Amino acid sequence: MFLKELTVSVSNIKGLGPAKIKPLANMGIYNVAQLLGRCPRDWEDRSRIVPLRDFEKGKVCTLVTVRHCEWLRLGKVGKMGKAETLKVYIDDGETKASLVCFNRPFLEKQLLPGCRYYLYGSFSYKYGELQSSSFEFESAPASQAALSRPAAKPAAESGGAEKNFFRILPIYPLSAGLTQNYMRSLMRNTLRQYAAPLENELPDSIIKRDGLLSKADALNALHFPNDIEQLELAKKTCIYEELFYLEIIVGKRALERKGASGGKAPAKVAAAASRVGEGNFTPLQRRLIERLPFKLTAGQESALADINRDMDSPYPMARLLQGDVGSGKTLVSFLAALKAIDYGAQAAIMAPTELLAHQHTENAARLLEPLGVHVGFLTGNIKTAGRNQLLKSLAAGNIDLVLGTHALFSKNVVYNKLSLVVIDEQHRFGVTQRQAILAKGERCDLLMMSATPIPRTLALTVFGDMDVSVISSMPPGRKPIETHLARQSNEKKVYDFVRRELAQGRQAYFVYPLIEAGENDGELPLRSLKDAESMAERLAKEVFPDTPLALIHSKIAEDKKRQIMESFRAGGIKILVATSVVEVGVDVPNATCMVIEHAERFGLSALHQLRGRVGRGSFQSFCFLVYSDELTEDGKQRLKVMLENRDGFVIAEEDLRLRGPGQIVGTEQSGYLKLGIADPVRDAACLSRARTDAFAILASDPALNLSENAVIASVLKRAPPFSDAGL
């Protein structure tokens, strides 16, 4: 039996009472597999002796004798008189200390003078003595004269009075109604009852090669290791197994896409032999390139060559196009669309917001309609009459390129011959949304674009079944954006600087973390945060009273947003006050100032995106990161990453380290990376090894029919580690 097949209810675990079923359910634990698979969040090493004198080195773990107890009167006088607190005086033979037992008067009957106890806790000097108010203890045998560790017992079999001492203890995530001691006892009982018969989920060859543990031994050692070495081996086993199956599934997806695991791939829209083109480009591509007032950068040419090669392949393209803010990805996507159109097919470009989709449509019409390309625009806000006509034209094949939002994969949207799907700002869309639009065509080519650079370790995990192109060069003539940090108390200097830029005919953005006062962002006291609505009013009345200013955020109607952006782009509006709605796609070359207030409230990748809204013309541009006067040193160090780096990949690596993978690429919403113990950043070396092993196995045995790979096939069939929706 594999671990995931242990679907028996937790109510069958010996010693688990009905009162604990609900607290476990609150943690998403309903069956034995979910309980045993719940990895400790940390471990406490109580196998090492730390005497009282070494309290500064970490938590004390030692044998102490209680000398005497006394009651202290502390606090204000209440109905019951002054509050009393128990204080217990101890020593370990060398050092004296006291235990302050706040709200634990019952300890007077448990910590008895003259008796010995194993003690674990945090100590510090207070009021001229060594004290602790956070500690755990257990009775020690009267004959115990000194600390010595007893012989190790099998992890899941240990118990009795010494169960929390002389060993490494797991620390679990908890919910109300559960304690660490209860979870440890429950886990011991569960391991004892269910772990032994578990089958290994890795091939024997890999277990032997790397000296890994069996499944049962790994689980026992992960929760209750005998020593640090055994814990590290258990973690190594479990981390490798998790990443191995992640890469197996990623690899199988890649094989399925290329038709290597089944029958011959269907013919593409046109046979390769009938492909039209001149040199490296199709006729429409060449005509657009010749009309451009600039040359493609080396990065754009390289990415386009990758895309053209993929689209000429008999297998559907699945490519991720990465490029820093302003690197010219959108133009490359237009050129990719022209290749599909040259083959007599249709292309769709999907953006996460109507504002961005409309801007893409304007650019596409300007660049492509002179070539004879019919461009359409589809969002949920298009009026019924216009929408019906658009849908008819799309179904009849009279529209070559359609741009829009989620509406592109609505149920009533029918394409004539959809061959290419481009998804801009891919992290804003979930897996099911991507699949929904791909289903509108037959084995469509897929190009996903991201201006949020994805570090290699994460790309291997999340987009491991895709090919990746990177546009690393920027269009010529653009000057590096000057970045400055400013305290909130010094914001007047920032305003004065912006005023001088405005006087020279330039424009500016002011960005805030909240739309309106009192909006809940889930963290700091909201009264201390500025919001876009209040600040738009203040900036207009007090700071820039003679400057045309407008407010834009997600709650404003799409038509109104579009009017505001068109006015800002045309120069009628000089200051745009906004939230992070302007993070992507807004292109105003005359805007040279980006002021981000409460910059500490944004992720580094978001700050990098916002900074990229300026510097899009030939003028010198500036970004001001205004932060709270109470910002911690750690917070300042984060912002210094922005100050010292312009490379989006460097910033993304740091953002990944600080915030985790889910938030960086939007994988939380799409179901990716539901990992238990593995971390693709910390465990990058293990990820690379697991990927090499998984892809080698699939290359030689794509259907997993060989006997040595039978266990992999069985796991995927009987106990798949990741859901289809997740990967």
Identical fold for domains 276-471 and 482-645, yes or no, is yes
User: How much is the pTM?
Assistant: 0.65
Summarised one tens digit per residue, pLDDT across range 369-398 is: 999 999 999 988 777 777 889 999 999 999
Which pLDDT does position 17 carry in this prediction? Answer: 84
CATH class assigned to 276-471? alpha beta
pLDDT tens sequence across 167-182 = 899 999 988 888 888 9
Nearest to 416 by CA among 383, 381, 374: 374
**pLDDT, position 276:** 46
In DSSP notation, 528-587 reads: GS-BHHHHHHHIIIIISTTS-EEEE-TTS-HHHHHHHHHHHHHTS--EEEE-GGGSSS--
Residue 457 is given by DSSP the state H
pLDDT digits (tens, 9 = 90+) for 605-620: 788 888 988 888 888 9
Q: What percent of the chain has pLDDT above 90?
A: 46
- Express each pLDDT in 225-255 by its tens digit: 999 999 999 999 999 999 999 889 888 877 8
Residue-range domain boundaries for the chain: 48-148, 276-471, 482-645
Mean pLDDT, residues 299-313: 92
How far is Cα 397 from Cα 339, in angstroms, rounded to an integer?
A: 16
If you average pLDDT over every residue of the chain, what do you get? 83
Per-residue pLDDT at 110? 92
**At the fourth CATH level, which superfamily is domain 482-645?**
P-loop containing nucleotide triphosphate hydrolases (3.40.50.300)
Pick the range with the lowest mean pLDDT from 438-442, 544-548, 647-651, 677-681.
647-651
In this structure, of 110-114, 265-269, 413-417, the range with the lowest mean pLDDT score is 265-269
Query: Tens of pLDDT along 328-364?
Result: 899 999 999 999 999 899 999 998 888 888 889 999 9
The pair phi, psi for residue 558, each rounded to 5°, is: -60, -40
The two structure tokens encoding residue 538: 């203040």
Q: What is the mean pLDDT of residues 402-408?
A: 90
| Predicted pLDDT of residue 525 | 44
Query: What would the pLDDT profile of 478-522 be if each residue is shown by its tens digit?
Result: 788 899 999 888 889 999 999 999 999 999 999 998 888 765 544
Q: How far is CA 533 from CA 269, 375, 551, 558, 607, in A?
A: 51, 36, 7, 17, 20
Residue with tokens 């109607």: 557
Does 74 have pLDDT greater than 70?
A: no
Non-local (6+) Cβ contacts of 622 within 8 A are 481, 482, 483, 484, 497, 501, 592, 593, 594, 614
pLDDT of amino acid 666:
43
Residues 6 or more apart in contact with residue 632 via CB below 8 angstroms = none
Cα-based distances in Å from 263 to 256, 377, 625, 680: 10, 37, 55, 34
Residue 648 has pLDDT above 90, yes or no: no
Q: Are strands 507-511 and 591-597 parallel, antiparallel or unpaired?
A: parallel
The domain covering 48-148 belongs, at the CATH homologous superfamily level, to Nucleic acid-binding proteins (2.40.50.140)
Please give the structure tokens belonging to residue 204.
């024997």
In this prediction, residue 80 carries a pLDDT of: 47
In this prediction, residue 263 carries a pLDDT of 37
Choose the weakest-confidence range: 169-173, 533-537, 641-645: 641-645
pLDDT mean over 261-277: 44
User: Do residues 654 and 604 make contact, with C-beta atoms less than 8 angstroms apart?
Assistant: yes
The candidate with the shortest Cα–Cα distance to 200, out of 712, 655, 674, 627, is 712
Task: Please provide the DSSP assignment of 107-123 as one string.
Answer: GGGTS-TT-EEEEEEEE
What span, in angstroms and rounded, lies between the C-alpha atoms of 249 and 263? 19
pLDDT of 655 over the 80 cut: no
